[in-house]
Amino acid sequence: MGERGILIEFQPEISEKLLEKLLFYKNKLEEFYTEVNVEVINTYNSLLISYMFSIENLYDEILTVKKLFDEAKIGKINNQQVFHLPVCYDEEFGWDLELIAEEKELSKEEIIKLHTAPFYTVYFTGFLPGFLYLGGLDKKLQISRKNQPRMKIEKGAVGIGENQTGIYPKSSPGGWQILGNCPVQLFDKNNDPPCGISAGDKVKFYSVSKAEFEEISAQVSEGKFQLKKENYAR
Amino acid sequence: MHAEVEVIHPGLFSTIQDFGRRGFQKYGVPLSGVMDRIALKTANLILQNQADAAVMEITQMGPKLKFSAATKIAISGAYLSPKLNDREIENNEVVKINKDDVLSFGKPELGMRAYLAILDGFKTEKVLGSRSWYEDITQHSKLEKGIKLLYEASEEEKYETHAALKFDNTYLNSEEIEVFPGPEYEKLHETLKSHLRQSKFSIDKNNNRMAIQLSEILENVLDPIITGPVLPGTVQLTPGGKLIVLMRDCQTTGGYPRVLQLSEKGINMMAQKRAGDKIRFLFKF
C-alpha cells in the first residue's frame, strides 16, 4: 500500500483458524522488526506492515517478508486469556432491548442469556482507540444496524450489529443496536500498553445490576477495579 | 528557561503536531502527525531543529499568539500573510522574536496549511510517544483562547548561518497527485480505471485532518470489503460513489474498497489543497 505499507491478504473469511494463522505470522514479523519505526497490525484476513517512513527498497523488503513466511511453521498461539467484562443491561442503558425483543421474539432475560453465554473472540482493535472487533455472536441475536445512525452513543455502550458485538470505548456516533453498558475502561492512554486485551484473546460478558454497575464505576474511577481474567483453556 | 506562547485568538483551526504516534495502530490509535511533512521538515531545518520537533499546524485563518520570551521562529507551507507586531514577515526564513511580540496572520494567499516552528520545538505534553494533538488522547484537540504552549526561551545566539536556503514551493499549487493502485483497484471496471487515470477531481468542502472528500460521484458497483487495514493516503470508494482520501488522523481500519494509495509526496500535496481546488491522479505504476 503505497510507499509506507506492505499488505498481506489471505482468503476473505472470518474464522478463528485464519486468525490463528495471522497471529502466528504477525508474531514472526514482530520478532523480526524490532525497530520502533515498523508496526504490524492484523484485521480479519490481512496483515499490514506499516512503516513510519517510506520503504527504501521495496523489492528487498518484500523478499525478506516472503522468506520469513516460507521459513515459518504454523504453531499455536500462546497466552490466550479470557477477560470477564461486566455489563449492565438495565433499561437506562439498554436503549434497544425492547426493539430487539420484539423483532427477535425473545424476552429480555433470553437476550441477556444469549449475549453473556459465548466466549467472544477478539479479532483485532480498530475504528476507535480500544474498540475490539468481537466474533461469535449467537445467530439468534443477529440484527441489522440502525438505518439512521445515532449522533451520540455513550461511552461503554455495548451493542450488536449484523454478526458482531462490541463496546464503544468512548462516546461516538454509531449505528449499532444498544443492549447495555460496560463500566470498565478499555483504553487508558496512561497505561502501557493502553489496552490490555489484544487480538486472539477471549471476552465473556456477565450481567450486573444497576447498583453493581455504580459500584464498579466508582472503583474504575478510583483506579481500584480489578478486571477478572484467566488463561483460556480450550 | 521555560517560556510560553499565549493564544490571544485561536483562528480557525490549529493544532500542535510532530511526525505522529508510532506503535499504537494495533490499539486503534490513529497515526496523526503533520498533514504536510515537507513543510514540517522545511520549517525545522531553517531553525536547525531536530526534524521531528513539534510545530503548530495552522489551517487557513491563523491565530494571534503572544510570546513570553525571546526565541526564533520559522513559518513554512501555506502563505497565510503572517505579521510580527505590525510588520509583514516572509515564509521560510528565521524570524527573531522578542519578549511580548505578537504574531498574527492575515489573508490566506497560497495553500491550505502553514507550519510554525519554534527554536527547539514546542514542549507540550507527550502522550503515547508523540506531541500530536488528537481528541481524548491529548489534553487539547485544537487551539483555544487562553491556552499556553510551552517552549524553551533562548537569548543567546546559538549560531549564525550565512548559507542561503532555497525552497521549492511549487508543490503547493501543483494539480498532480502521485498515486499507486490500491488493494481493490484491479476489481474496478476498465471505464472507471481510465476515469481515475484521466479525469480531474475537485476537493469537497467536507475535508479535515481525518479525510478529504472529492466532489464527483462515480458509478460504484464494488461491494464493501471485510474490514481491513487503511493508512493515511488510502483512497476509499464509498457505496454512494464518492472518493474519500484518508489523511493523517484517519481510523486504522475500514470497510470500503481501497482503490488508490497516495504516495508520501501525494499526501503532503493533498494537505495543501483547498475546497474547490482541482486535482489529477498521476499513476506511478
Question: Is the CATH number of domain B174-283 2.40.100.10?
Answer: yes
The answer to whether the Cβ–Cβ distance between B27 and A195 falls below 8 Å is yes
**Of A71, A99, A123, which residue is a domain's last?**
A71
Could you tell me which of A109, A108, A113, A128 has the C-alpha nearest to residue A204?
A: A113
Asked if residue A67 belongs to a domain, the reply is yes
Statement to judge: residues A65 and A42 lie in one domain:
yes
Same domain, A96 and A185: yes
Distance CA B219, CA B97 (A): 54
> What pLDDT, on a 0 to 100 scale, did the predictor assign at position A201?
94
Chain B residues touching A39 at Cβ < 8 A: 22-23, 25-26
* Contact check, Cβ <8 Å, A194/B128: yes
User: In a 3-state reduction of DSSP, which class is residue B232?
Assistant: coil
Domain boundary among A48, A71, A94: A71
| Beta-carbon pairs below 8 A across chains A and B | 113
Q: Is A76 helix (H, G, I), strand (E, B) or coil?
A: coil
Q: Which domain holds residue A12?
A: 5-71
Alpha-carbon gap, residue B161 to B147, rounded angstroms: 33
In this prediction, residue B247 carries a pLDDT of 97
Q: Which residues of chain A lie closer than 8 angstroms to B257, CB-CB?
A: none
**Interior/surface letters B73-105, b for 16+ CB within 10 angstroms, e for the rest:** bbbbbbbbbbebeeeeeebbeebebeeebebbb
CATH of the domain at A16: 3.30.1360
Look up cell 460521484; give the residue: B217
Please indicate, yes or no, if residue A128 is contained in any of the structural domains. Answer: yes
Per-residue pLDDT reduced to its tens digit, B112-136:
999 999 999 999 999 999 999 999 8
Mark whether A128 and A39 lie in a shared domain. Answer: no
The SS3 assignment for A191 reads coil
Q: How many domains does chain A have?
A: 2
Asked if A119 and A217 sit in the same domain, the reply is yes
Q: Could you give the 3-state DSSP secondary structure of residue A49?
A: strand
Helix (H, G, I), strand (E, B) or coil at A228: strand
Are residues A14 and A124 located together in one domain of the fold? no
Residue A66 lies in a domain: yes
pLDDT band at A233 (very low <50, low <70, confident <90, very high): confident
| ipTM of model over 0.90 | no
CATH number for the domain harbouring residue A217: 2.40.100.10
Clarify whether residues A132 and A199 are in a common domain.
Answer: yes
A129 and B29 within 8 Å at the Cβ level: the answer is yes
Give the closest residue to B272 by CA, choosing from B148, B112, B123, B116: B112
My answer on whether A100 and A212 are in the same domain is yes
Would you say residue A103 lies in a domain? Answer: yes
Domain borders along chain B are: 2-170, 174-283
- On whether the CB atoms of residues B234 and B246 are closer than 8 A, the answer is yes
Single out the residue in A16, A36, A71 at which a domain terminates: A71
pLDDT tens by residue, A89-99? 999 999 999 99
Whose grid coordinates read 421474539? A105
Q: Does the residue A219 lie in any domain?
A: yes
Dump pLDDT digits (tens) for A128-152. 899 999 999 999 999 988 878 888 9
- DSSP secondary structure string, B70-114? -EEEEEEEEE--EEETTEE--SSS-EEE-TT-EEEE----EEEEE
Which candidate, B55, B31, B36, places its Cα nearest to that of B124?
B55
Q: Do A123 and A85 have their domain in common?
A: yes
Tell me: do A43 and A152 sit in the same domain: no
Task: Give pLDDT tens digits along chain B (285 positions).
Answer: 899 999 999 999 999 999 999 889 989 999 999 999 999 999 999 999 999 899 999 999 999 999 999 999 999 999 999 999 999 999 999 999 999 999 999 999 999 999 999 999 999 999 999 999 999 899 999 999 999 999 998 866 656 665 667 788 889 989 999 999 999 999 999 999 999 999 999 999 989 999 999 999 998 778 778 889 999 999 999 888 999 999 999 999 988 899 999 999 999 999 999 999 999 999 987
How many whole angstroms separate alpha carbon B52 and alpha carbon B37?
Answer: 9
A57 and A87 fall within a common domain: no
- DSSP string of B111-177? EEEEEEEETT------BTTB----TTTSS-SS--TT-EEEEE---S------PPP----GGGT--EE
**Is position A76 within any domain?**
no
Alpha-carbon separation of residue B252 from A7, B33, B207, B248 (angstroms): 13, 14, 18, 10
Query: Chain B closest CA to A108's CA: distance in Å?
Result: 31
